[in-house]
Amino acid sequence: MATKPTISTEMTQLAPTGSICPRYEHAIQLLGKRWTGLLLDALMEGPRRFCELTATVEGLSDRVLSDRLRELEVEGVVDRIVYPQIPVRVEYKLTEKGLALEPVVEAIHEWAEKWVMLPEDSSSAEIPQ
């Protein structure tokens, strides 16, 4: 039974050895996962509780949110802060490393505003040349 190629193996097969920076590849794999960009955007506004993130990012399941937050925490992008009170309160906030992504998130916002058309926009606007 053949295994499905991962993004990493696909990239290696497409490019000559050594032509893709491993750090760039790792960053793209981390930040390019579904929902991660929306979570980073939501956390740019400040610390959020789990339920606030669920409400902010429509369609995101609790399980996937938990997975993404854990991945970002392991990478040092997000801090999980537990407040010792009853009931226990947990917040997630961007670390210095996470906050350093602000210009990247802003640049994507600007790019999307200029170049990405939504289905409801297609009849009333043209993409700039």
pLDDT value, residue 19: 81
| pLDDT given at position 20 | 86
Token representation of residue 70? 């854990």
Q: Which of 124, 74, 80, 78 is nearest to 97 (CA)?
A: 78
* Cis geometry, peptide bond prior to residue 119 (ω within 30 degrees of 0): no
What pLDDT is stored for residue 120 in this prediction?
A: 82
What's the topology of domain 22-113? Answer: Arc Repressor Mutant, subunit A (1.10.10)
**DSSP symbols for 49-105:** EHHHHHHHSTT--HHHHHHHHHHHHHTTSEEEEEE-SSS-EEEEEE-HHHHTTHHHH
**Domain residues of the chain, as ranges?**
22-113
Mean pLDDT by 10 residues, the chain (129 residues): 52 60 94 97 98 96 98 98 94 98 97 92 59
pTM of the model: 0.76
